[in-house]
Amino acid sequence: MITLLGIVARDPRTPLMLLFFIVMLSAAAAVAEAGVGGDAGAWMGYAIVLAYYAWWVIGWDKYYATPELRIPRSTEAIWI
């Protein structure tokens, strides 16, 4: 559901992406096996929102040609 909210927002810089941290925190409070699954699900969801933004909303060529539109790699790494 959080991934869908990010897709509807059409920008991974929206504050809605902070909801992924709630998923990871709630998964960490659960059993160890479920915690790993929750973290991986949040990571994949964020990656899907990034891919949607870069490939469909902006377009592959325009995203990499225009520095203002790009999400910095450091920001992506911090999220993951």
pLDDT digits (tens, 9 = 90+) for 51-64: 888 888 888 888 88
Instruction: Give 20: exposed, middle or buried? Use CB within 10 Å, 0-12, 13-18, 19+.
Output: buried
The full set of domain ranges for the chain reads 2-79
- Do residues 24 and 16 touch, judged by C-beta distance below 8 A? no
Helices assigned H by DSSP within 1-80: 2-9, 19-29, 32-51, 60-65, 73-79
pTM of the shown model: 0.69
Residue 28 has a pLDDT of 65
Q: What is the 8-class DSSP label of residue 15?
A: G
